[in-house]
Amino acid sequence: MRAWRAAIAGALTAGIALGGQTTVAHADTPGSVIGVEQADGFRGMGETQIIDYWTHGVGGVSQPASGALFLPSGQAPPGGWPIVAWDHGTTGLASGCGGMSNEGGTAWPVTQDEFLHRAVNKGFAVVAPDYLGLGRFDTGPHPYLDIDTEATATIDLLRAARSVRSDLSPVWVAAGMSQGGQAALGTGHRQASYAPELDFRGTIAIDPESDVEKVAQLLVPGNPDQLGGGILGFSASILAGMRASRPDAQVDSFLSPLGQQVVEEIGTMCQDDIDARVAGLTLGQLLAKPLGEEPMRSAMAEYMTVPTSGYDAPILLLVNVTDRTVPSPLHAALAAQFTAGGVNYTPVLGTGNHCDLNPAMWSAVDDFLNRVRG
């Protein structure tokens, strides 16, 4: 049993303060509350609560996680505030990097806070997870782009928030950008089996990561032209996350000695430091054998593939055709797969940078939320 698990269990059993908050004695059932801390004004919002809770973590084991609940002002409407479950973009791999329990770590794009404020001002409560490993608990490196734990961290926070607040509706949507777009799609797909008691109304995905696992199959050692710059930080983070959470992938066997050193080091960093650590390197230098070989190929597909069929609620897909972080061919491939899979989705295109939202995109967001709110 890891030290963090023993420490938390002891604190809960004793009913003592944990991290300056009041703890609640619950078993470690996913979705149950560990503690709640009032944090009004956090991220420039109004009434805010930081919630520590249990989630369905790596390998199905319950693990502690944290996130925020942002509330509109005034009295809730009949039936309670509808909810937006917001999934944030890439922030790193270490505890404290998530941005929802504290404002440390990597700076957020302005668009993320704009979305949060817009949703709350339209009468939605917002729950926003740090994701596993990025919040107030050191559970090891964040399993970056693990679509399963992203989804359960999101839904379990929603359940925890509704157990804390009686003025929250069962009506909810998932939304997110970049990594969070991938997480929101995973959440929208997973909710039908994981949270059938809730009233899910759809997903907003902004420049979501997708199909990277297919591109990774082409990556081999030694090529000096492969994935330098900021993209390498994301790629190395995928390997670090898999190394921590998917032992079946045998990640170390795919890494050179330098690669093993880098992947070990970045597991304790937020994104800015990760990008600085890999500056001047290429993925070809970090690899010992092609990522398209087994067992990496199958494990990576299970770990991060975005589902392209089987959704039971509509999707608003907002993508920038000039995106250089998640290149437009990947967006196009996702849209084509949605079409082939019979998914009910509406694409809205922009020509901005990664996760920029133009007026037409904002209008589509407003229309989507207005239909949910009724």
Residue 222 pLDDT: 79
As a whole number of angstroms, the distance between CA 319 and CA 335 comes to 10
Give me the CATH number covering residue 195.
Answer: 3.40.50.1820
Both 111 and 204 in one domain: the answer is: yes
Q: Are residues 155 and 236 in the same domain?
A: no
Does residue 13 have a pLDDT over 60?
no
* Residue 295 structural domain: 212-303
**Are residues 233 and 121 part of one domain?**
no
Domain count, the chain: 2
Tens-digit pLDDT profile for residues 195-212 = 999 999 999 999 999 999
Alpha carbons 187 and 173: distance in angstroms, whole number: 9
Burial group, residue 294, by CB count within 10 angstroms (0-12, 13-18, 19+): exposed
For 64, phi and psi rounded to 5 degrees? -80, 145
What is the per-residue pLDDT for 110? Answer: 79
Answer yes or no: do 260 and 340 share one domain: no
83 with 171, same domain?
yes
Query: To the nearest whole percent, how much of the chain has pLDDT over 70?
Result: 90
Of 287, 303, 319, the position where a domain reaches its end is: 303
- Is residue 194 a contact partner of residue 165, using CB atoms and an 8 Å limit? no
221 shares a domain with 84: no
Looking at residue 104, its pLDDT comes to: 66
Domain end position, chosen among 281, 303, 325: 303
The predicted structure's pLDDT at residue 227: 55
pLDDT tens digits along 210-236? 999 998 888 889 776 665 556 899 999
Mean pLDDT confidence for 308-328 = 96
Of the listed ranges 40-44, 78-82, 168-172, the one predicted with least confidence:
40-44
By the 8 A CB rule, do 207 and 354 touch?
yes
The percentage of residues in the chain with a pLDDT greater than 90, rounded to a whole number, is: 82
Are 51 and 185 found together in one domain? yes
Q: Are residues 331 and 244 in the same domain?
A: no
- 111 neighbors 122 (Cβ within 8 angstroms): no
The answer, yes or no, to whether residue 10 has pLDDT greater than 50, is: no
* CATH code where residue 273 lies: 1.10.260.130
Query: Could you give the 3-state DSSP secondary structure of residue 320?
Result: strand
DSSP code for 80: -
